[in-house]
Structure 1
């Protein structure tokens, strides 16, 4: 990583890089699903048709999506889809780092780096609900270092910053 680099990846499909360092990222839903399929195959994971379908729905939205919204979309194709069906698929996708859960809004977004295990902070717009993934390892490393200094052993990190995005501030 270039010193001082911060890369922000938007779940609106735009890539906003604040340095001159290329970073692979999936702007299109189909490309993202292909990357997850490849990562699943490489790790020996089973991406079932239902898991794939839930993944496709999350990728297509490009904004945080709630589990019950996913369930409603699944019921359009599979009238008998039940909440446990969606939650099992979401659990698999979360456990394997293919999606992120935004705890403060209880919603899910696709991960821009499905082949890498990582913790990332999100910037969440309270007006348009856009969520941007901030890809800067220094943030996670700083939290890890502070936790270690305090004798704390973290199991997971979720950092969500709420505010107003540039586009909503303009309007």
Structure 2
């Protein structure tokens, strides 16, 4: 699915957690028990999850309340370290299945079911960065989200 110039190794399950830990530690941060718990809960969602959804999942697993503010701080760290991606329009997060590879991200967000797919297409984001630079703007992180219907919802509508 990635449209970048190379193929990604998509991590899953325990392999994804190990890749996330290695990436965070290479960034000079510690992989604490709480960070591991938050990442593991985030990685289990099949759609973007809010900090409240994640806090609820971690709280249930830990048997104690974890405040959403704590989760937000860790999610910000994860986004900065490329472990998670933030879907800006829904203020929700997804685990990055290839945290060891840095790309700008394009999100395809289904307005019907909420499913979000991310694409890495450096040619598109390079054009966006170049256009921004041409105006004297210094881009840090392009955010491109395309709203519409996923193939499943489009098929459901056509069948119904």
TM-score > 0.5, shorter chain as reference? yes
Runs of at least 5 residues in structure 1 that lack an aligned partner in the other structure: 1-6, 9-17
Runs of at least 5 residues in structure 2 that lack an aligned partner in the other structure: none
Contact 2:111 2:148 (8 Å CA) reproduced: yes
The two structures have a TM-score, normalised by structure 2, of 0.87
Contact 2:109 2:148 (8 Å CA) reproduced: yes
After superposition, give the CA deviation of every residue in 1:69-108 in whole Å (9 maximum; x if it has no partner).
Answer: 1111122123232122212211211111110110101100
Match of 1:151, SS state, is coil
Aligned to 1:162: 147
Whole-angstrom distance in 1 between the partners of 2:100 and 2:7:
16
Greater share of helix residues, 1 or 2? 2
CA RMSD of aligned residues (A): 2.0
By how many angstroms is 1:30 displaced?
2.2
Whole-angstrom distance in 2 between the partners of 1:54 and 1:111:
13
Q: How many residues align?
A: 155
Aligned to 1:47: 31
Q: Structure 1 residue 136 and structure 2 residue 94: aligned?
A: no
Aligned to 2:58: 74
Q: Structure 1 residue 62 and structure 2 residue 46: aligned?
A: yes
The two structures have a TM-score, normalised by structure 1, of 0.82
